[in-house]
Structure 1
Amino acid sequence: MTAAIQHVGGDRRSVDPALRFSLGGRRAWVVWAAALAVYVLAVFHRSSLGVAGLLAAHRFHISSAQLATFTMLQLAVYAAMQIPVGAILDRVGSKRLILTGLLMMTAAQAAFAFVSSYAGGLVARFFVGMGDAMVFISLMRIVALWFPPARTPMVTQLTGLFGQLGALLAARPLSAALHGLGWTTSFLLASSIGVLLAVVLVVIVKDSPYADHRREQLKVREVGRALRASWRQPGTRLGLWTHFSTQFGANVFALLWGFPFLVSGEGLSAATASNLLMLMVVTTVVTSPLVAQFVAHHPFSRSTLVLGIVLAIMTVWGVVLLWPGRAPLWLLVVLVVVTAIGGPGSMVGFDLARTFNPPARIGSATGIVNVGGFVASLTVVFLIGFVLDRVAPGGPRTYTIDSFRPAMAVQYLTWGLGLCQLVRYRRRARRGLLHDDPERYAALKAGALHT
């Protein structure tokens, strides 16, 4: 076991001479904050179509399925890039990948500001998804390398929490800008922020606190071996299905279909719908520390927490979809609050990946886990658009609550698959840990801090 996981204290330079900076010290927080700012911007770019969807349908003269294709393409590229990006990450480090992703997103959003054709819009969203794919898992690697294991669950949740600021900025300010400044100016201003953050990134961020970079880099010939080893670990796949089951509900709602559902389906004003999307972000902010505390103190029960979150989301959606007529506002508030908890719940998947894999495989394992939620989101975005085109062939202008009932119900197919796989792989992960390391199994069950 390396010195990176032998201790859980703060300043360990006196113990490990390879450390240039203390784990969890001031420099660690500065590096994390600089990289986090890029992730906030990535979430903003990712979420921008959530409030611009109806305007996009008008601008590009497209159907429900074509509108869904924007988000589907973005998510498909994101998901497809996770494993190769995770493998490259272990080789080249976080800083280069975050910078590459940032520049790619900046250029793509600037292009999206000017294109007026459907094909041009698809190309722009393709590169937004590709750039976005490089940011989050690179940031997770920074968290894993710069902070001691005892703090990693909390910093992981804080990452997701502050990342939601991007969704918050997309929910209301972008909506106001689109209606006040217009499409081109709004997206061009959003893309310009990337130039400033690129300078901050270059000046501040470092890949690792260690002097010997061989500690966290893999040789090219070892990349495939690391991916296979990460995939064979049941704990990695438990993390993947955790991410798969919890994230897509909030993702689909915030990225594309929530705003049309609330406005065209439930009859809310655009301002009220934007406020509910903002409430999702506030819920994430409030619940992320609670989830982190649970994970830190009850590591053995992480999958139980995830199962409870998924079942709660399924229940409240069932009530909304079965409600006669349009649901009352109080019920929609409950819906967005409960759905939003899936965001912090999905972060548990990365903690599972960290628990069951050594530091040298963090990038690969995190990439595998991160595929889950975005594959689920991609699938559900497509299915909702597919169903809406059949029940409301006239396009977004003809959406009603009865159009959205069968469309939103397709989420249950994905939740059902996720629940089955969660139960399956948590059994395998627990059995494997009990067999390979009974002392550690007992420590986790007793609530000991995990590494």
Structure 2
Amino acid sequence: MAREASVSDNRYGRAAWVVWGVGLFAYAVVVMHRTSLGVAGLEAAQHFGTTPGVISTFVVLQLATYALAQVPVGLLLDRFGSRALLTAGVLLAGVGQVLLAFADDLPLAYAARLLLGVGDACIFNSVLRLLPRWFDAKRVPILSQVTGMCSAIGQIAAVAVVLPLIQHLGWTNGLLIAASTCLLAALATVTFVRNAPRGEATAVVADPLREIPSNVLGVTKHPATQLGFWIHFTSGFSMNAFLFMWGMPYLIVGQGLTQLAASGLFTLLSVASMVAGPIIGALTARHPLRRSNLALIVIGALILSWAAVLLWPGKAPAPLLFLLIVVIAANGPSTGIGFDFPRTNLPVTRLGAANGVVIAGGFTGGTILILLMGIFLDWVSGGADYSAQDLRLAWALQAPFFVVGLAGILISRRRLRALMAEEGVIVPSWREVVERIRRNRGAGR
């Protein structure tokens, strides 16, 4: 019996772990390239003979492309499956990095980041779509968090691999060597990834073209998709702006850290995210009716941490800066809570499009914030080097993003709970929960 239970828990045994593991490898590789300009922004500015503000537009284009491509990629994913989209994604990302390696002018660099953005958009959603096909439902929330957690491996690799390669071998050679990992990931995907276990339906659909707009609209209007979008938006925009562009300049210029110390905090962010992921995933699986509350708690901690650092006179003390990095890291896995709402409220054949909408949340917010911060910094500095005060004011631009995001979460959650109530699922109030706990304790005496 124990052996049968073990097989049931693993569902498809070793094959499931191999398929997922290769997907994780492809995801980590693309994240490494995605975040390369975030850690090598100063080197990029020197290579192209421009300012970090202009380099930020590279990241804006890349992230905007990533966000805008999510729904079309989701539709392709529902039609062709994860294997095709993963393979195409890593190859496009690799071509983008090769093009960037040879770029000496800005137009070619913009084209390179556009390609990378499209390729990047194909990866995470494709890996998520594999999970319900290969694993039991009870495992999926934790595995989804572990999947997102593997972005930290890519972020660490950007600091530990891509940046040293560029610094020691030069811009072109360093990027070319790093880009070779995309070819390796593509070969592994073609060899090992399958959309579904052998003998089972692949859960891909081929909707008539005339029905696609109405199907996308239906997925987008569903309150589960909207709640997922706003959780991803509110948990993700600050982290994305920090990771992809303005974190390293803030730590070096705004807080007076050396590049080595700032790189250490970036590594800490990645490691802390890896630790927080399984914890948040386990809590999500254990308390499915309180998932949004968990997200709100993590978001609230982020708001308080940023407020403390930005309002602190002068440079923030090391423990406070350390706390900010850890809380930013926790908001990475918090974005993953957003994917759990479409998973439990929509058919698997619509998860590609729904997850695409959710993913667009944090990256849309991050793209807009990066752009606004770049415009603001160039304006307030008058073309000169940024000061610590300039960066402090720029990060204060987050405030309206938090207000909009929290409003979106609360409104869409109310709509989803009303829909759940119609289906017989009632979310008890906190007062009812406390009263039930009190009664249970009284009965146990």
Same fold (TM over 0.5): yes
Moved more, 165-174 or 343-352: 165-174
Identical amino acids, percent of aligned pairs: 37
Question: Are 2:160 and 1:183 aligned?
Answer: no
Q: Secondary structure at the match of 1:151?
A: helix
Residues 91 and 220, structure 1, Cα contact 8 Å, conserved in 2: no
Structure 1 match to 2:37: 49
Structure 2 match to 1:68: 56
State the aligned residue count.
425
Report Cα offsets for 1:214-271 as digits up to 9, x if no partner. 6432434453343222112101100000100001211111111100111122110000
Q: Matched residues in 2 for 1:331 and 1:392: separation?
A: 27
User: In the alignment, residue 98 of structure 1 is paired with which amino acid?
Assistant: L
Shift of 1:330: 2.1
| Residue in structure 2 matching 1:255, options 244, 248, 254 | 244
Structure 1 match to 2:443: none
Structure 2 match to 1:430: 417
Residues 47 and 170, structure 1, Cα contact 8 Å, conserved in 2: yes
User: In the alignment, residue 389 of structure 1 is paired with which amino acid?
Assistant: D
Structure 2 match to 1:17: none
Question: Are 2:123 and 1:104 aligned?
Answer: no
User: In the alignment, residue 152 of structure 1 is paired with which amino acid?
Assistant: V
Q: Matched residues in 1 for 2:402 and 2:248: separation?
A: 21
Q: Secondary structure at the match of 1:208?
A: coil
Structure 1 or 2: larger helix share?
A: 2
Residues 295 and 348, structure 1, Cα contact 8 Å, conserved in 2: yes
Question: Are 2:254 and 1:265 aligned?
Answer: yes
Q: 1:220 to 1:212 in 2, by over 3 A?
A: farther
Question: Are 2:385 and 1:403 aligned?
Answer: no
Structure 1 match to 2:72: 84
Structure 2 match to 1:19: none
Structure 2 match to 1:196: 184
Structure 2 match to 1:309: 298
Q: Secondary structure at the match of 2:138?
A: coil
Structure 2 counterparts to residues 209-288 of structure 1, below 5 A: 209=197, 211-213=199-201, 215-221=203-209, 222-288=211-277
TM-score (norm 1): 0.90
Q: Matched residues in 2 for 1:425 and 1:386: separation?
A: 32
User: In the alignment, residue 272 of structure 2 is paired with which amino acid?
Assistant: T
**Where has structure 1 moved over 4 Å in runs of 4 or more?**
9-13, 439-442
Q: Matched residues in 2 for 1:92 and 1:438: separation?
A: 35
| Residue in structure 1 matching 2:362, options 360, 373, 376 | 373
Residues 89 and 120, structure 2, Cα contact 8 Å, conserved in 1: yes
Shift of 1:63: 3.3
Q: Matched residues in 2 for 1:99 and 1:361: separation?
A: 21
Shift of 1:144: 2.2
Q: 1:336 to 1:10 in 2, by over 3 A?
A: same
Q: Secondary structure at the match of 2:147?
A: helix
Shift of 1:311: 1.4
| Residue in structure 2 matching 1:413, options 378, 397, 400 | 400
Q: Matched residues in 2 for 1:410 and 1:10: separation?
A: 51
Structure 1 match to 2:442: none
Question: Are 2:283 and 1:294 aligned?
Answer: yes
Residues 284 and 343, structure 1, Cα contact 8 Å, conserved in 2: yes
Report Cα offsets for 1:28-64 as digits up to 9, x if no partner. 1100111111100111111101111111112212234
Residues 42 and 52, structure 2, Cα contact 8 Å, conserved in 1: no
User: In the alignment, residue 125 of structure 1 is paired with which amino acid?
Assistant: R
Structure 1 match to 2:117: 129
- Segments of 5+ residues of structure 2 without an aligned counterpart are 434-445
Question: Are 2:105 and 1:117 aligned?
Answer: yes
TM-score (norm 2): 0.91
Q: Secondary structure at the match of 1:394?
A: coil
Report Cα offsets for 1:255-302 as digits up to 9, x if no partner. 111001111221100000000000000110111111011101111111
Residues 29 and 185, structure 2, Cα contact 8 Å, conserved in 1: no
Q: Matched residues in 2 for 1:10 and 1:106: separation?
A: 39
Q: Matched residues in 2 for 1:440 and 1:364: separation?
A: 27
